[in-house]
Structure 1
Amino acid sequence: MSVTIYHNPACGTSRNTLGLIRNAGIEPLVIDYLRHPPDRATLAGLIAQAGLTVRQAIRQNGTPYAELGLDDPAMTDDQLLDAMLAHPILINRPFVVTPDGVRLCRPSEVVLDILSMPQRGAFTKEDGEQVIDEQGKRIHHD
């Protein structure tokens, strides 16, 4: 199964998502998007295929979002994409691409919706939350 993750190794959600992909026995193509950002067409495609608006795909915390005035509702999608390409930290993460779809995996277990390969064992997120049991089944926390 061909899987690509647009990864930020400093992000816990991104690391957990990568861990869930690997727990399914898949070694994905890992793109450190801060060092190798996608081009405009790829970024716009990821956002559209994930069913998001450009504004929904922007990360606000820990970014120059406010300083750049990106909270202005008059900003167009093209202007927002320009800002994301100029400052890749504005791209929310992690985007994951599989043959079953594209998702912004926040929370990380969203990736399970687009992985057809089963989980191979228990998985616990970095914060201690168990999301996969010993039989490889998803644990739903209500």
Structure 2
Amino acid sequence: MTYPQDYLSGLLNELRALPRETEWVEFKHNNDEPQEIGEYISALSNSAALVGKASAYLIWGIEDGTHEILGTTFDPGLKKVGNEELENWLLRLLAPKINFYFHVLVTDKGRVVILEIDRASRHPVQFQGKEYIRVGSYKKS
């Protein structure tokens, strides 16, 4: 799924306007550790379902406390786990299967990557056989 840059810019501004991270929104600067990304997809998807949101978001290139745009070096299209592309690796280890989309937004302050995650439906989403959830801005298994 591809969105126009102006749509992504509006979405980013809306999420940055939140007073803090929520059960369904997480900001990162450059942390691109695949294991953590998988855990966050599970936690954010499950939490979005609990709070009645259609989607959750993991966003790189944003300062956690101030929500200022810093830019990121994370490039999901180039990231690999071993010889496997990140997206395929994540899809293989998430159950049940859910939709998620990496969007890249180029701003005057740097690149921002928005990972849009569908909420869980029917069953909690597991990563590597474990269910994760967000409590406030913290991830728990």
Structure showing the higher strand proportion among its residues = 2
Q: Which has the larger radius of gyration?
A: 1
Same fold (TM over 0.5): no
Q: TM-score category by the smaller chain?
A: under 0.3
TM-score by length of 1: 0.25
TM-score by length of 2: 0.25
